[in-house]
Amino acid sequence: MSRVDVRKTHKLFIGGAFPRSESGRTYEVTDANGEFIANVAQASRKDARDAVLAARSAFAKWSTATAYNRGQVLYRIAEVMEGRRDQFITEIEQGEGVSRKKATNQLDTAIDRWVWYAGWADKYAQVLGTSNPVAGPYFNFSIPEPSGVVAAVAPQDQSILGLTSVLAPIIATGNTVIAMPSPVHPIPGITLAECLATSDVPGGVVNLLTGAPAEVMPWLAEHADVNALDLTGIIDVSVAADLEKLAASSVKRVRQPAPDADWHATPGLSRIRSFSEVKTVWHPIGV
């Protein structure tokens, strides 16, 4: 008697849980040859609202965790991904139509990127902050702090590496995030959500919404409780401009699209800087 396969239901990742879209909608994901792979949940505005609530609820605890602790959590993500190495490679190979060698290289770079940002979690403040010389009996310090809740769109290609390169610097600095994986190749992003859920990442720090950025991002861009936008994965320049206009209503930081980014290159601190606010503190000497 032949065994019936257990088909996987691909869901959203909100507040540390895996709900279906409240709309009940799904969309088809195909491989590089146009063959059906899976039905994936299509997020709605209601799902985005739930994700913002989850991200805001998680922000206070995550932003006040020690930098060393955040680094440990990011390193743990890399550990869990390493344990699901074969699954990630197969999903990248199937979805993007690349060779196993290229899929392996992309995954290895993604795992190494989590480790890279884990190492920076307790060091970036020394680079972006400073002790300012002042004329008077005062200490004057400039200290980077997280922006808050960030809504991000991952690149459409390099599915797991692009998503990792967007997520890691945002949460390494104490922000929480609502991210949209590649709508064309979302499966590795969904697997990453399972890694996040079984790592040490607190619920709500990372929320992943699969579906169409054109439907969800305008609402997130004008949401007053979203503090910053990362438009890396937006392809259409006019769409990015419209989102930036919507963001202006509540004064958000906006990182522009990056259609020509080399995700395999060493990232530098640009992304960390994008979602850090510098606060200057005065303190009298001798008090």
CATH number at residue 68: 3.40.605.10
Q: Is the dihedral of CA 231, 73, 60, 46 positive or negative?
A: positive
The answer to whether position 164 is within a domain reads yes
7: in domain: no
Sign, CA dihedral 52-57-63-68, equals: negative
* pTM for this prediction: 0.93
Residue 196 burial (CB < 10 Å; 0-12/13-18/19+)? buried
The answer to whether residue 65 is domain-embedded is yes
Within 13 Å of residue 71, how many CA atoms lie on the same side as its CB? 12
10-residue stretch averages of pLDDT, the chain, 287 residues long: 82 97 94 92 96 98 97 98 97 96 97 98 93 86 94 95 98 98 96 96 97 94 96 93 94 91 94 94 82
User: Shortest CA distance to 41 belongs to which of 180, 157, 162?
Assistant: 180
Element spanning 195, H or E: helix 187-197
Domain assignment present for 39: yes
**For residue 15, is it within any domain?**
no
Within a domain: 19: no
Q: Look up the domain containing 249 and give its range.
A: 26-284
3-state secondary structure of 173: coil
- Residue 16 counted as domain residue: no
- Asked whether the beta carbons of 254 and 278 are under 8 A apart, the reply is no
Q: Is residue 21 part of a domain?
A: no
> Angle, to 10 degrees, between the axis of helix 67-83 and the axis of helix 187-197?
120
Nearest to 76 by CA among 121, 136, 30: 121
Per the structure, how many domains does the chain have?
Answer: 1
- pLDDT tens-place string over residues 255-276: 999 888 999 999 999 999 999 9
Residues 13 and 98: their CA atoms lie apart, in Å, by: 27
| CB of 240 closer than 8 Å to CB of 196 | no
